[in-house]
Copies of this chain bind each other. A is one copy, B any other.
Amino acid sequence: MDLSLLPDGGMRWLDAAGPKSTIVLSTRIRLARNVRGIPFSQRAKDSDRTAVVERVSEAAASTEHLASAVAFHLDQMDRTERQLLHERHLVSKELAGLERESRPRAGAALLVQDQVGVMVNEEDHLRLHGMWSGFDLEDAYAAVESVDAELGRLVPFAFHPEFGYLTSCPTNAGTGLRASVLIHLPGLVLTKEINKVLQGLSQVGLTFRGLYGEGSEVVGNFFQLSNQTTLGKTEDELIDHLGKIVRQVVEYEEQARDVLLRTAPEEVEDKTWRAYGLLKHARRLSFEETMNLLSGVRLGVGLNLLPGPGVYTLNKLLIYTQPAHLAAMDGRSTGDRELPTVRAAFVRRLLEAEPS
């Protein structure tokens, strides 16, 4: 169960090499699939879930794209390890059994190879997902689609000729596709245009969430934008549509940043340098404050108001300053009172290695 078995810890998407990666941190594709003939999640017994893991693992071994996948059996992992996977966006809170008082269900598992993962026994039997650096719907979809095709040849997926793929919750039926981008919109927030933009999204079938998916709050001006419906359109149509809208949102964000630079350049410069100064000197930092400060610094880097740090470092900080990451790094529990101190020290160490 060693995360270090994963090249890049399963997070190549952090590298900021993708298109528009200052504004769009990552692109994620997920496909919901279920195994025909086995009861869906709500009705499944433990033996059904175990059967699913066995079927999927066996099939994966015979594919090209999952043959050397690392397998994580969540029901056999301790809480910090499971939280680590969650903080890396590799498993949902639900699958990892991280809701209060909960435990992972029998058969809860994750397979990961390169940038594609399969959550097993989440809300659906299979949730295939891929996360790509920057704004890159095409590559992310192509990768997940290949795995889907390979697995689909070996495991019979529940499919209805009229409705398409059948899923546990009808909102995911049809394509089973959710495409999303993690996008940083401080310009729209500062110019107070954000609500107009978010309202517009819902009118064109898109929805937004915080960093950790459904129900999570927006902090640090990081939004997840995704399609709301999965039915009645083809995968290509859904992806094209999301792509078009996200390009527009990116443009709005760039315009908002231009407005800020024109109307309040010193205030923006001040804001971003203060955020940098606090990150570089604070001795205690909560994760929420860290996110907000990283947002300020990221804006400054995007506008060339700050000479550094690099976007890769900013991305890494978003992930590695989360509780389980700090706890694991420092041999502590995620509830340790000293985590804010450990976090601040870690932030300083990473920033000091960077130009400023």
> Which A residues form the contact surface with B (CB < 8 A)?
266-267, 269-270, 273-274, 276-278, 280-284, 341, 344
Please tell me which one of the listed residues B266, B273, B281 contacts residue A273 in the complex, with CB atoms under 8 A apart.
B281
A44 to chain B, nearest CB (A): 48
Find out whether the CB atom of B284 lies under 8 angstroms from the CB atom of A266.
Answer: yes
Contact assessment for B281 and A266 in the assembled complex, using a CB-CB cutoff below 8 Å = no
**Given pairs A266-B341, A276-B281, A277-B278, 16 additional interface contacts (CB within 8 A):** A266-B283, A267-B284, A269-B283, A270-B283, A270-B284, A270-B344, A273-B282, A273-B283, A274-B278, A274-B281, A274-B283, A277-B280, A277-B281, A277-B282, A278-B278, A280-B281
Count of identical protomers in the assembly: 2
Name the residue on B nearest A279 (C-beta). B277
* Alpha-carbon separation in the docked complex, A280 to B344 (Å): 18
Name the residue of chain B whose CB is nearest to the CB of A272. B283
Residues of B within 8 A of A344 (CB): 270
Q: How far is the CA of A270 from the CA of B284 in the complex (A)?
A: 6
10 closest A-B pairs by CB = A277-B281, A277-B277, A270-B283, A270-B284, A273-B281, A269-B283, A273-B283, A274-B282, A277-B278, A266-B284
Residues of B within 8 A of A341 (CB): 266
Task: Identify 7 residue pairs between A and B in the complex whose beta-carbon atoms are under 8 Å apart, listed by A's number.
Answer: A269-B283, A270-B344, A273-B282, A274-B282, A276-B281, A277-B281, A278-B278
Main secondary structure of the interface of A (DSSP, over half): helix
A281: B residues at CB distance < 8 A:
273-274, 276-277, 280
Contacts of A283 in B (CB 8 A): 266, 269-270, 273-274
**A130: shortest Cβ distance to chain B, in Å?**
38
- Alpha-carbon separation in the docked complex, A292 to B199 (Å): 41
A1–B63 alpha-carbon span in the complex (Å): 88
Looking at the assembled complex, report how far the CB atom of A293 sits from the nearest CB atom of chain B, in whole angstroms: 11
Chain B's closest residue to A267 (CB) is: B284
Complex CA–CA separation, A269 to B341 (angstroms): 10
A40 to B281, CA, bound (A): 56
Cα(A193)–Cα(B273), bound, Å: 35
In angstroms, Cα B284 to Cα A266, docked, is: 7
Of all chain B residues, which has the CB nearest A348? Answer: B273
Listed residue (A266, A270, A283) with the most chain B CB atoms within 10 angstroms of its CB: A283
